[in-house]
Amino acid sequence: MKIVADKSIAYVEEAFSPLGTLITLDGLKITPDSIKDADVLLVGTATKVNRKLLEGNQVRFAATVTTGFDHIDVEYLKQKGIGFAHAPGSNANSVAEYVVVALLEIANKYGLTLENKSIGIIGVGRIGSRVAKKCTALGMQVLLNDPPLFRKTGDKKYLPLKDLFDCDFITLHTPLTLEGIDKTYHLADEIFFNSLKNGSVFINTARGAVEDTIAVKNAIKSNKLKAVVIDVWENEPDIDTELLEIAEIATPHIAGYSLDGKVLGMIMVQNALCEFFGIADKKGVEDFLPPPEVAQIEIENAIGNEQEILRQTVKKIYDITKDDAEFKKAIEMPKDKAALKFHNQRRSYHFRREFQNTTVHIRKKLEKLAQMLTGIGFKIELNES
């Protein structure tokens, strides 16, 4: 069979060329003509898979290696009998780690102590639940909002949205839904921001349209918000460069771009493809993941408080300030060039590794720090001295 795939998919050649004739293209250059005789289409978020792309083609199976699939017209695929797969949860830990790193950087910049600060998590699915666990390990007070989960479970830990408005930090982890009682389109609008505690910090790693860009900018300009961390943007890749400039941390939709998450997403799609076509060639992440660049970290002289040691430790794995600085080069660019910068930085991303690949060696007497490191995902080896 013929497979057309986004060339940015991790290990795409190694995983899919044994299954058929593989053609790899830039995600923005996947067109009706380029897939006219393809049996399989594999994409990331750069490609909109809909009637316009697929009408008249012979694609039998389409998949995205991402968790979200609002760029896929799933109803159209059903109508045409085209198989579909995505990678739910594959990037969940990566996004949660991104949030932890961002929290530590914001706290450092503004001289904040995260311990006992409150964080409101809107959306407590695969990602939000991991964020909650890691923030708890940081000693934060975690408040949860997830109306669908509340209706399903009746668990009172899922609070009304208004109960989160007094939090020091607010982070979004919902899918993008355009209608219904759980509509999230522009959930973070002018009323939302006006309701927040003065000087709070807003983080969005969900979907760009869950926030109203104008409302976010107004909240920053009026000093309603202390700081904003934005990884997802309305109308990607046509980003708002004014918001890019005034956001404390801005990145081009790469929160979920750990190599671990990318490989897991690819594997989930590869396995689904094999199952759909009855091919006995399923792979596992162990077939692709290389050893981590930073396998060991020694914490010998714990100078400073736990939070600063944590920040310095995670920075050895992922320095979010480098992604921010690189992306902000787009501020002075024309609109089309800024969009290309967004796409190119994602396409050529350096693929960081997750904390779980690194063992931290730490003195046994630093028990609190060890627990925090374990809670955010590191392996720990205690030294007696």
Catalytic residue among 86, 186, 207, 353: 207
**H runs (alpha helix) in 37-170:** 51-54, 74-80, 92-110, 126-137, 147-153
Q: Which residues contact 343 (CB under 8 A, 6 or more apart)?
A: 27, 28, 46, 237, 252
- Per DSSP (E only), the strands in 123-240 are 141-145, 169-172, 200-204, 225-230
Catalytic residue among 236, 248, 306, 354: 236
Report the SS3 class of residue 6: strand
Catalytic residue among 253, 311, 343, 353: 253
Please check whether residue 116 is in contact with residue 326, taking contact to mean a CB–CB distance below 8 angstroms: no
d(CA 235, CA 231): 13
Please check whether residue 231 is in contact with residue 253, taking contact to mean a CB–CB distance below 8 angstroms: yes
Q: Is 347 a catalytic residue?
A: no
DSSP per residue, 31-53: -TGGGTT-SEEEE-TTS-BSHHH
d(CA 266, CA 220): 37
What's the sign of the alpha-carbon dihedral 115, 117, 118, 121? negative
Q: Is 350 a catalytic residue?
A: no
b vs e for 141-155, b when ≥16 Cβ sit within 10 Å of the residue's Cβ?
Answer: ebbbbbbbbbeeeee
Q: Which of 15, 8, 10 is nearest to 29 (CA)?
A: 8
d(CA 154, CA 131): 21
d(CA 252, CA 275): 33
Q: Is 242 a catalytic residue?
A: no
Amino acid, single-letter form, for residue 169: F
Angstrom distances, CA of residue 255 to CA of 86, 117, 327, 362: 18, 23, 13, 28
Active site residues: 207, 236, 253
